[in-house]
């Protein structure tokens, strides 16, 4: 039996078990997918124990996509460049890291007919998900990229701006992409930006629970195209299952 799971700090909102159960059903795979909540204080110890617990692989989510990297024996070239890992394969006594968020985000863009090449984009956040999104945007030919962050000064060679500067500058863009957890269940009354700060044609929120965040509801009221993160979640899960099912190449 294939033993899989999701590692994160708070996972009550997660739809991953249902998605992976359906993928395994369709592929005829006998497997389980567990939610594994690890506290920040015990993450190092818990992950090292996990490596010896018979798991074939795990997904990694908030807030461990970056902090898991030093604990891995090998990391794919793509994940190294992105600087975040969301999928781990346990194979031959080693923990190997990959990033399938990148593939999932590109699939989301294609599925929703969102053009990137030659467009301008604002990315909110600078965590693990944002890193994959930024790399995908650059690879897809985004023309102008603005990253709004509470802390980091430099991100994939791009300087970030503060939320205060973002508000004052009233930056307009083709795409506004939320890569923060602000607005996620159970804090559904929150939004990373206010109504007047939504100056874009298309608004994408990586959050999938709720299916329509306050940010997306507001954008929809403004007559903008809105996209949530559910399709990205599904597609990165498909890619992760491929990695766990095969001897993944590096």
Q: Is 65 a catalytic residue?
A: yes
Q: Determine the Cα–Cα distance for residues 207 and 212; give it in Å rounded to an integer.
A: 8
Q: DSSP string covering 71-120, please?
A: G-SEE-HHHHHHT---EEEEETTEEEEE--HHHHHHHHHHHTT---TT-E
Q: Determine the Cα–Cα distance for residues 191 and 95; give it in Å rounded to an integer.
A: 36
- Whether omega for the bond prior to residue 231 falls within 30 degrees of 0, making it cis, is no
Region class of 170: left (phi > 0), else alpha (psi between -120 and 50), else beta: left
| Active-site entry in 10, 27, 51, 65 | 65
Catalytic residues: 65
């Amino acid at each position: 039996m294939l033993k899989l799971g999701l590692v994160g700090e708070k996972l009550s909102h997660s739809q991953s078990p249902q998605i992976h159960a359906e993928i395994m059903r369709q592929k005829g795979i006998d497997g389980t997918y567990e939610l594994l909540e690890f506290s920040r204080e015990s993450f190092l110890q818990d992950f090292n124990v996990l490596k010896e617990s018979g798991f074939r692989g795990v997904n990694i989510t908030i807030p461990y996509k970056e902090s898991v990297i030093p604990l891995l024996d090998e990391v794919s070239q793509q994940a190294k460049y992105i600087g975040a890992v969301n999928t781990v394969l346990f194979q031959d006594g080693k923990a190997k890291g990959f990033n399938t968020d990148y593939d999932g985000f590109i699939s989301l863009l294609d599925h929703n007919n969102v053009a990137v090449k030659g467009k301008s984009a604002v990315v909110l956040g600078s965590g693990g998900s944002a890193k994959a999104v930024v790399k995908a945007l650059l690879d897809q030919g985004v023309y102008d990229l603005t990253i709004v962050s509470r802390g980091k000064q430099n991100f994939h060679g791009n300087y970030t701006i503060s939320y205060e500067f973002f508000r004052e500058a009233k930056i307009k863009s083709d795409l506004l992409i939320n890569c923060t957890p602000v607005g996620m269940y159970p804090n559904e009354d929150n939004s990373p930006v206010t109504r007047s700060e939504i100056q874009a044609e298309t608004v994408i929120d990586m959050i999938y629970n709720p299916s329509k965040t306050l940010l997306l509801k507001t954008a929809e009221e403004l007559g903008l195209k809105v996209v949530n993160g559910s399709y990205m979640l599904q597609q990165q899960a498909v890619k992760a299952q491929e990695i766990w099912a095969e001897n993944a190449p590096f």
